[in-house]
Amino acid sequence: MIDPERLLSSRAAQIDASGIRRAFQLGAKLDNPINLSIGQPHFPVPDALKEAAIKAIREDANGYTLTSGHPSLQSSLRDSIAKELGWSADDDAIDVMVTSGTSGALILAAWVLLDPGDELIIPDPNFVIYPALGPMTGARVVSCDTYPDFCMTAERLEPLITDRTKLVIINSPGNPTGVVLSDRQMHDVSQLCRDRGVMLLSDEIYDLFTYSSMRDGRGRSPSPGTHGQDMLIVRGFGKNYGCTGWRLGYAAGPSWLIHEMSKFQQYSFVCAPSMAQHAVMAAHDVDMSGVISEYEGKRDMVLDILSPLMEVTVPEGAFYAFPEVPSSLGMSGTQFTERLLDHNVIAIPGGVFSDRDTHFRISFASDDERLEMGLRAIAKAVQEH
């Protein structure tokens, strides 16, 4: 007889199913719910990328690429990183690899850098994969409390670094908060990690989704990569171009690190989807500024409707807001999101992303009509109680 308890690893026991999945399961019981939980854009993939993908498939570009990515895409990414961050495109000490989504890059970096007993510092609140990197590697996950403004600053980070710290993950624009760190804050974090001999991983999956008040001269979010090359920059195409299912990201950083990550990719993901790699070579000709402006308007709608009723830190990027449940309600984030189901709205409790359960996450990646309906339903849920 098969005994699951005997067969399953201790690793598996340490990783719970995503709370986001549980919210989906609860929402499935609703009739045509207003779903403000989905972390993906609501707009279609730009036609140029669709046509490039179709062309690649029809021309039989369906086999493996090199483990690190198609050479033409790698070259394009190397040039864009050089242009945007000031890195040298011809510096052999720097390299770029294509990954199976940004999650693939995160997992590869963790596998390469972390041994059991090592320490990884992540922000709190955080993207749900970050805490899982601990059980995946045996490393100890240390949370950096960023409440109430959700900025992972050098001042908050420094007391947490020990001689066991190997990796620090920073995420800006952030999920679940939408908060964007300033260029000064990025400089200080990168300098701190450099001084302490710690690898900094900057998760910039939402870098193009940065709103007017925080865009830098590149038209994107501030990056620690403008302050040095001794770090790992992780970016992707899925959020920026609406092709989340294509599972395509990339990592740029020191050649020694990219080499080891490529080695691990060879024995795990093998390579990123080939047709998607061909498709995103057309991305540099696509102007997404109109979409970003539209999403900034959605962000403003969130603030206009919810800010009079609860504390909402202004999201300067991504497409999330992380409001605090009013203390007068006497509810946790989980209790409040369960109450929202009575109003036909799906949101994610803050405890999914944090050691605290005082907030809730909404995604405003929705058409304006449904978004406004959902926001007004949230406001009604607060006012009724």
304 shares a domain with 265: no
305 shares a domain with 273: no
pLDDT value of position 385: 74
313 shares a domain with 179: no
Q: Where residue 351 sits, what CATH number does that domain have?
A: 3.90.1150.10
15 in Cβ contact with 325 (< 8 Å): no
Residues of the chain with confidence (pLDDT) below 70:
17-24, 26-28
Residue 93, both tokens? 């000490």
86 shares a domain with 193: yes
pLDDT value of position 24: 65
Q: Pick the last residue of a domain from 235, 258, 285.
A: 285
CA distance 187 to 226: 8
Q: Where residue 196 sits, what CATH number does that domain have?
A: 3.40.640.10
Give the residue numbers spanning the domain of 338: 4-45+288-383
Give this prediction's pTM.
0.94
206 shares a domain with 165: yes
Q: How many residues does the chain have?
A: 385
171 shares a domain with 100: yes
pLDDT value of position 27: 66
Cis status of the peptide bond prior to 131, with omega within 30 of 0:
no
CA distance 365 to 381: 21
Residue 12, both tokens? 């598996």
173 shares a domain with 112: yes
Q: Pick the last residue of a domain from 246, 264, 285.
A: 285
158 shares a domain with 68: yes
Q: Pick the last residue of a domain from 270, 285, 300.
A: 285
Amino acid sitting at position 192: L
Find the angle CA(53)-CA(247)-CA(32) to the nearest 5 degrees.
95
pLDDT value of position 151: 98
Query: Domain count of the chain?
Result: 2
216 shares a domain with 72: yes
Residue with tokens 């092709």: 243
pLDDT value of position 89: 75
217 shares a domain with 148: yes
